[in-house]
Amino acid sequence: MMASFDLVVIGAGPGGYTAAIRGAQLGLRVGLVEERPTLGGTCLNVGCIPSKALLESSGHFHRVRRGLEEHGIRTGPVELDLARMMARKEQVVRELGEGIRFLMKKNKVQVLQGRGRLAGPGRVAVERPDGEETLEAAHIVLAMGSVPLEIPSLPVDGRRIVGSTEALSLDTVPEHLVVVGAGAVGLELGSVWGRLGARVTVVEMLPGIVPFADRQMARTLERALKKQGLDLRLGTRITGAASRDDRVEVLLEDGKGQRETLVCDRVLVSAGRRPCTEGAGLEEAGVKMGAGGRVEVDDGFRTSLPGVYAIGDLVRGPMLAHKAEEEGVAVAEGIAGKAAHVCYEAIPSVVYTHPELAQVGATEEEVKAGGLPFRSGCFYFQANGRARCAGEGEGLVKVLAHAGTGRLLGVHVVGPSASELIAEAVVALKLGATAVQLGGMVHAHPTLSEAVKEAALAVDKRQIHA
């Protein structure tokens, strides 16, 4: 007999498993289809979580080697146990994966392992090596996530020319790593291996790093990374590459037509991601596709096929795990007949380098392009007591507010714990707060968060500690 569900979710990444949990909480009979034997999708298995585990571990290694003497701490020779570092990373991933599996059981979500394929309205085929099973569903949520973009001139071989997945599990520290792409993934993984001893060259065809960021903040991060030893080749494209034994020759060309050959032992291709829709049967079933391979949806995440929805990296908006999670909750609540809304204006983004970059709302460039009158306020961490105590005086907080109403338009942070500090700004932005209101909030002293308060005060030139 064909299994029947109120809701079938294809894909167990942050958006998919969140939609499954919320649907089950609302009384729906839910099936979750996932090709991997583990849950959590790219984010948990080969993305956000393992990269952050390595960033933490490599950060500790770097600080012990180079950052403790100013605190009066002397150490002897420090050795790297890369195998143990990798084992810890895998342990973190495994334990979190087991936690998601437990949540499925707790919420009575039926997990079906196999490749999910849309077989028409109300039907999902689950393909397994031993055969195919078809599920009936009143509602279907597509949440298959995304895969790395490929560069024709740099075919990934998994050995010398690698993608982000392989770069998370190298068994030796590269002597020279060339990173293609100065987005979050490239800079984070470049930082990991640079801290562990690799010479790192980052090649970016655009004139600046992290192109989604406010330009002032991007330039601040760029200067910090250069001081750490990252060689940033901006406005430069790769025209070809050739593997020769244990080396790779990479051909570069800058904006002036100047050509150069780099010889390295590893190339990391991190040029972005695209929606993962191959083999999912979407177009065959009648789902309308849009630009860039995205699935077209309305404000309720409905596709052109009745009863079929899409979320996360498959649809418009930034490819972020937390954006997918919010959409997962919203789509499940909508299916259950509840009002649901995602505030896209208050979705933060973070680059987990050192210092970190975090932002929410509009950049200064976007505000100017929109013709809005605005005022800005900045406060530098070098004037923040807690940052100075920690030896973390690099970076700043920048607040943008409407010149007439004072309402917050964007908040940007480059500095220590930026990924945590931005949460306060997300709350303020979502609630429609003004710079005056944010600056009027009492912040504990001494804390890094005082920099957010001072930047908000600086919008009206009322900062105290500048």
C-alpha to C-alpha distance for 133 and 393, rounded to whole angstroms: 58
Kindly give, in sequence order, each residue whose CB lies less than 8 Å from that of residue 401, ignoring residues fewer than 6 positions away. 374, 375, 376, 377, 407, 408, 409, 434, 435, 456, 459
Nearest to 183 by CA among 216, 157, 205: 205
Position of tokens 């009143």? Answer: 138
C-alpha to C-alpha distance for 266 and 248, rounded to whole angstroms: 7
C-alpha to C-alpha distance for 148 and 154, rounded to whole angstroms: 13
Backbone Cα Rg of the chain:
24
Q: 445 catalytic, yes or no?
A: yes
Give CA 69 to chain center in angstroms.
Answer: 33
229 neighbors 357 (Cβ within 8 angstroms): no
155 neighbors 163 (Cβ within 8 angstroms): no
Nearest to 307 by CA among 107, 180, 94, 121: 121
**Which of 71, 341, 445, 465 is the catalytic position?**
445
Give me the residues paired with residue 137 across strands: 5
- 3-state DSSP assignment of residue 429: helix
Give me the residues paired with residue 266 across strands: 177
C-alpha to C-alpha distance for 209 and 219, rounded to whole angstroms: 8
Q: ∠ CA(10), CA(11), CA(14), 5° rounding?
A: 135
Query: Which residues participate in catalysis according to the annotation?
Result: 445
